[in-house]
Structure 1
Amino acid sequence: MFSPRKFAKDEEGTILVFVGICMVVIMGMAALTFDLGRLASTQTDLQAYTDHVALAAAGELDGNADAITRANAAAEGMIEDSQFFAEGSRDLGSSADFSLRFLTGLPTPGDDPDDNDPVAGFVTTDSTAAVMVEVTATPRTVFLPFGRALADLLGVTRPNEDVNAVAIAGFTQYACDVTPLMFCIPPNWTADANKGAAIKLRTGGNNSAWGPGNFGFLDPTDIGINPNGPCAGETGSKLYICLIAAHGNLTQCVSQRGVDTEPGQRNGIGSAIYNSRFDLFQSTMSNLKNDPAYSPGPQVIAGWENTGGACLKNNPTISSDSMPFPPDDCFATGSCAHGNRFGNGDWSTGRTAYLDMNYGDGPANNLTPHPLGNPSGTTRYKMYLNEIARAAGGDVLAGRSESGRPQCAKETLDDPDRRTFVAAAIDCNANPVSGRATDIPVKEFVKVFLIQPLEQTSGTDFDIYVEVVEQVGGGVGSSSDDGIFRDVVRLYR
C-alpha cells in the first residue's frame, strides 16, 4: 500500500536528480562550445585572409603614382582563401570579401598604445603618400542554433552572430651601405628613363630653397657608422670626408620613406674629397695617398698634365694630349634642361673629341694613335668599363702624358665602381629642402658615374658632373650591386 510519508522519506534514486541536472549543464556547455568553436574558426579564417590581403596590397605601396591601383589589383587577384562555417559562399578571393583604406601612417603610440585607436584621420587617396593599407573583411554571419535556443529559453537577446576581421600592413624600402649623398630631381624624373644622361650637380646651401641639380648629404646620424670600418670614430668634417671619399665605409640602413638631409656646403669639405677616386690627393686629402681606404680605381684619366712627378700637385695644368669624359653636348651650348643642369644623353660631339684626343692622332694630328684603336661603349660608363677590361691591368692610354692608371696612391682598387656613387634622388619641389630637412621621402636611389675630376675650388661651392647609370634597389631591370636594398612588408595590426 502506497504511503506518502514513506515515499517522502525514501532516498533511493536521489543521484538521478543530480545526474539529470549535470547532464543538462554538460549538454548546454557542449552546445555552447560547438557554437563558440564555429565563431572562433570563422574569425580565424577571416583574420588570416585579411592579413594576407593586407600584405599583398602593402607590397605595392612604393610611392609611385600607380601604387594604389596596383595595390587594389594585388589584393583582389593574388589572394584566395576559404571559410567553412559562416553563411554564404565558402570562397574568399574577390573584392566583395573585403574593403581597403589607404593610410599615411598610424596614431603615435602614447603611454598606453591601443591597436583600436581610430585611423580615420590618416586615410588618403594619394598613391605617393600611402604607406599602409587597412583591410576590413566583409562581415559573415555564423548560424548559432544552440545559442539561439538558449537565448530564447532564457528570454534574453540572441548572441551576435556576425564575425569580422581587420588588418593593417605597411611597406618600407631600406637602403644600406650607400653613399650618404642626395640630389634634387625635376618632377617625374626617373633614372631608368635617363640612363646615360649627364647631370651637373651643384652644392646646395642652407638658406634658399633647393632646385633640380642641387646636392647635399644624408645625415650621418641616421646613416649610422660601421664601428669596424674606416670611418669609425670620426666626427665633424672628417666624418663627411671619410663617408664620401673612403671605400668600404659600410653603413646602417635608411628608410626610403624619410631621410634627413644636410647642406652640401660645409666647412672643410671641398672638391678634393671626390678627386681621390682619380688618384688626385690635394688640399685636405694630401696626407691620405698612402691610406688604403682612399685608394683610387683602375681608370683615372683626369685630363691634367702630370708635371709634378708621381703625384699631381695643387693647381695642375690642363693636359694637351689627354682629356676626361666630357658631359653632354648641351652643357657647352647652355641648352640643357632645368637651368643647364640635366642633360639628354647626347654626347656625340664630346665623344668624338674624347676618342680623338686619347686614342687617335689628336686635334693637331700630332699624337700617336692607340695600338688597340678606340674603346667601345655608347655611354661613358660602358666605355669606361671597356677601357679597363682591354687594359687588363696595364696602362689605359698609350703615348700620353698620363697613363690612365694610378701612380700616386700606395694601392689601387680593381673595382671599376670606385668611381660610382649610389645617391638618394629627391623631388625637392614636392618636398621642400633648403639644407637641413627631416623625414624627406626618397623617390629612388640612383647609381651615378663620376665622369671627370672636380675643378679645384677654395670654397665649399662646387660642381660635380656625373652620368646616370641606373636605378638601384628596385624596379624592372635594375641592379643592386652597390649597396643592399630591402623591401620590408609587415603587419602593424
Structure 2
Amino acid sequence: MLGTIREFWNDQRGIAMILVSIMLPVLVGFALLAIDMSRANGLHADLQKGVDALALAAAAELDGNTDAIIRANRAFTTLLANETLFSTAGEHPIATADVTIAYLTGIPASDDIKLTAAGVDSNGVNWASTDPKLVKFAEVTVNASSTTADGAGAFATIFPASFIGGGDRMDLRPQAVAGFTNALCQFTPMFICNPYASLGALQTAVSGTSKPMIWLKEQTGGNNAQYGPGNYGFLSSPEGDKSAQKLTEMFAVTNPPACYSQSGVKTRPGNVTPVNDGINTRFDIYPNGNSGKLVPSSAPPAPNVRKGMVVKKTGGSCSYDLPGSGQTNNYKALPRDNCFYSGTCTQAGVLGNGAWDFAGYWSVNHGNASTSGVLTACGASPSRYCVYKYEINNPTLKSGQEKTPPQCNTTTQLADRRLVYVAIIDCAANNVQGGGQTLPVQAFASVFVTETAGGPPNADIYGEIQDISTSVGQGTLKKLQRNEAQLYR
C-alpha cells in the first residue's frame, strides 16, 4: 500500500496538462488584451488625426476680424470629413455632435497643465472667449459617449473585464489645440512704443486721409532705461542678434531676410549705432561715395527723393548738399506738422496734429501748378505720403529747382521704398526697459519716412504711420503677412 502511494506521489505524467489548463485562460486573456490595445491605439490615432485636422481648419480663420469665429465654425463643419474604423459603431464618420470646440485667447505655458473641453485649465484659469478679435486658438475635444449611445470614441472590449470587476467599455477622448500665427516677413527689425493711449486710438488716427506725424526717438539709456511713447528700438532677428552694421544693411535692402511673429518679438539688447545710413539710401544718399556694402544695386533709392537738398556733382561722383543761403527759398522738403504737442500745443509728446504747410511745399516745388488734381486724389487735408505718390504718378507735373526722381542713381523701386515696417508695442503695459525681452505685438505698421535721418548722435526719425495690420487696416500689409495655423497640443 505504501509502495503504491509512493509511486503515485512520484509519478509526473500529465503535469503539462495541468499547467496548460491553469495558464490557458491567462494566455488567452493577454492575447485578447493585446488585441484590444491594438484596436484602442488605432481608434485613438484615427480620432487624433480627426481632431487635429478640425482644430487646424478652425484656427486658420482666427485672424482677429469680426467674422473670425463665424468662418471658423463654417470651416469646422463643412471643410473636412474624418472617419474612425475601430469604434463600437464600426466605420464612424466624426460628426459635429461627437466633439466640442472652444475658442481660446491663450493656452497654459506648460503642457502639463490640462485643459477641459470648455477651455478651463487645471489651475482654474478660463481661457475661452467668444470675442472674435481676441481668440487665437481653437480647441477640439472628443465628447464622452453615453452608456446607451455609441459616440466617436466609444470602444467595446473583447477582453471580459467585467469578470475581474472592470468595465467592458472604453471611452477615448483625445484633444487638439491649434493656433493662428500672424507674422510679417521682409520686415525692418524695429519696434516702436505706441505713441497713442491705446490701439483703438491709433486705429482711429490712421483711418482718415490726414495722417498725424510721429517723431520717433531712439532710447539710448541702456538696458535699464524705461521706454516711453514714441521711443524706438531694434529687434533680434530669428537668427539671433545682428551687429550694428548688419542692422543698418537690413534697413537699406529692399527685402530684409527676417520674419517676425505677432505673438511675440524679442528686443535686441545693447545700444546700436544709428541706422541713418540704411534709411538714407531711400533718399539716394549713400555713405562712402557709393562704395561699400550700401550701394544702389542692393539698396536702390525711391522713385521720389525730394528732400530739400541740392544735387552736387564733383569729380564724377554725385551727392547732395543742403541749400546755400541764396537757395533756401527754392528748396523745401515735406514739412513737419505745425505742432508736435509741445510748446504752444496742449499736450506733451511726440505726435503731430496732422496739419502741415502743404501750400508752401507745393508753391516751392511746383510753382503755380494747379492743386485740384492732388486734392481730388488725396483729400482736402492730404497726407504727405499721398502727395509723394501723386508726384511719382504725374511725372509731367511742373517742378521747381529740386526734381522729383533721384539725380544720382536711376535704379529705383516702387513708391513703398520710403516705407519702413515696425512692430508696435505697448511699452508701458509691458514695462519695456531695453533688450532681451520677449513682447507681444499690438500690430505691425508701415511708416512713411518724410525726411532724411540726421547723422550721429541724432537718430531721430520723422514719418507718418500709414497702415496697421489690424482688422481696420487698409490691407496694404497683407503682401508681407504670412498667416498659418499650427498645432500646439
**Common fold, TM-score beyond 0.5?**
yes
1:278 is matched with 283
Alignment pair present for 1:423 and 2:422: yes
2:310–2:321: 8 Å Cα contact kept in structure 1?
no
Q: Distance in 2 between matches of 1:272 and 1:144?
A: 68
Letter of the structure 1 residue corresponding to residue 411 of structure 2:
T
Q: Which residue of 2 aligns with 1:104?
A: 107
Aligned partner of 1:462 in structure 2 is: 459
Match of 1:406 in 2: 406
Name 2:217's counterpart in structure 1: 202
8 Å Cα contact 2:310-2:323 kept in structure 1: no
Correspondence for 1:312 among 320, 341, 344? 320
* Aligned 8 A contact 2:250 2:278 in 1: no
Among residues 127, 130, 133, which one is paired with 1:125 in the alignment?
127
What CA distance in whole angstroms lies between the structure 2 residues aligned with 1:319 and 1:204?
33
**Residues 96/405 of structure 1: CA separation in 2 closer, same or farther (3 Å cut):** closer
User: Would the alpha carbon gap of residues 95 and 468 (structure 1) be closer, same or farther in structure 2, given more than 3 Å must change?
Assistant: farther
1:325-366, CA deviations, whole angstroms, 9 ceiling, x for partnerless residues? 22334328757797332345x33x522222223223xxxxxx
Asked if residue 351 in structure 1 is aligned to residue 386 in structure 2, the reply is no
Aligned to 2:268: 262
Aligned to 1:388: 392
Matched to 1:311, the amino acid is: S
Could you say if the C-alpha distance between residues 181 and 264 of structure 1 is closer, same or farther in structure 2, counting changes exceeding 3 Å?
farther
Q: Which amino acid aligns with 1:54?
A: A
Equivalent residues of 2:282, 2:417 under 8 A apart = yes
Partner residue, 1:441: 440
SS at match of 1:135: strand
Instruction: Name the stretch that deviates more: 50-59 or 34-43.
Output: 34-43
> Counterparts in 2 of 1:317-328, with a 5 A limit?
319-328=328-337
Alpha-carbon displacement from aligned partner over 1:70-90 (angstroms, at most 9, x marks no partner):
55x666554236879668x98
The structural deviation recorded for 1:210 is 0.8
> 1:178 aligns to what SS in structure 2?
coil
Deviation, 1:449, is 0.9
Correspondence for 2:19:
none
Post-superposition shift, 1:209?
0.9
Alpha-carbon spacing, 1:55–1:408, altered in 2? closer, same or farther (3 Å): same
Q: Which moved more, 1:181-190 or 1:210-219?
A: 181-190
The residue identity in structure 1 corresponding to 2:230 is G
- Number of equivalences: 424
Match of 2:234? 217
Partner residue in 1 for 2:340: 331
The CA deviation at 1:168 is 2.1
- C-alpha distance in 2, partners of 1:102/1:374? 47
* 1:175/1:490 CA distance change after superposition, 3 Å: same
For residue 339 of structure 2, give the secondary structure of its aligned residue in structure 1. Answer: helix
Look up the match of 1:79: 76
Instruction: List per-residue Cα deviations over 1:415-444 (Å, max 9, x = no partner).
Output: 222211111111112222222132212222
Alignment check: 8 A CA contact 1:270 1:458 kept: no
Greater shift, 129-138 or 194-203, is seen at 129-138
Contact 2:342 / 2:349 at 8 angstroms: preserved in 1? no
How far apart are the structure 1 equivalents of 2:155 and 2:296? 77
Query: Could you say which residue in structure 2 is the equivalent of 1:193?
Result: 204
* Alignment of structure 1 residues 28-39 onto 2, 5 Å: none
Match of 1:158 in 2: 167
CA distance in 2, matches of 1:82, 1:238: 53
Aligned-pair Cα RMSD in Å? 4.5
Query: Is contact 1:101-1:123 (8 Å) kept?
Result: no
Q: Which moved more, 1:158-167 or 1:422-431?
A: 158-167
Contact 1:104 1:129 in 2 (8 A): no
* Structure-2 residue corresponding to 1:51: 52
CA contact (8 A) 1:182 1:423 kept: yes
| SS state at 1:50 partner | helix
TM-aligned CA deviation for residue 45 of structure 1: 6.4
Whole-Å Cα distance in 2 between the matches of residues 476 and 270 of structure 1?
Answer: 28
Q: Structure 1's 47 and 145: CA in aligned 2 closer, same or farther, altered over 3 A?
A: closer
- 1:20: which partner in 2? none
Contact 2:102 2:138 survives alignment (8 Å): no
Taking the TM superposition and a 5 Å limit, the aligned residue runs for 1:168-179 are: 168-179=177-188
Q: CA deviation at 1:261?
A: 1.7
| 1:19 match | none
Change (3 A) 1:334 1:52: farther
The answer to whether the 8 Å contact 2:307/2:332 transfers is yes
Measured against aligned partners, the alpha-carbon deviations of 1:34-65 in whole angstroms (never above 9, x if no partner) come to 99899778656654553344324534666x6x
Contact 2:248–2:277 (CA<8 Å) still a contact in 1? no
Which residue of structure 1 aligns with residue 431 of structure 2? 432
What residue ranges of structure 2 are gaps of 5+ in the alignment? 1-24, 116-121
Check 1:322–1:211 CA distance in 2 against 1; reply closer, same or farther (3 A cut).
same
Partner SS, residue 394 of structure 2 = helix
Deviation at 1:160, TM superposition (A): 3.1
350 and 382 in structure 1: CA distance in 2 versus 1, 3 angstrom threshold: same
The TM-score with structure 1 as length reference comes to: 0.69
**How much identity, in percent, do the aligned residues show?**
26
The one-letter amino acid of 2:178's match is A
Where 2:215 maps in the other structure, the secondary structure is strand
1:137 equivalent in alignment to 2:142 = yes
C-alpha separation in 2, matches of 1:93 and 1:338:
55
Give the conservation status (yes or no) of the 8 Å contact 1:147–1:158: no
> By how many angstroms is 1:208 displaced?
2.1
Query: Are 2:284 and 2:406, in contact at CA under 8 Å, matched by a contact in 1?
Result: yes
State the TM-score, normalized to the length of structure 2.
Answer: 0.70
Displacement of 1:146: 7.6
Partner Cα separation in structure 2 for residue 28 and residue 77 of structure 1: 46
Change (3 A) 1:82 1:259: closer
Structure 1 distance, partners of 2:384, 2:97, is 50
Deviation at 1:391, TM superposition (A): 0.6
Report the CA distance shift for 1:140/1:35 in structure 2 as closer, same or farther (over 3 A): farther
Q: Is 2:485 aligned against 1:489?
A: yes
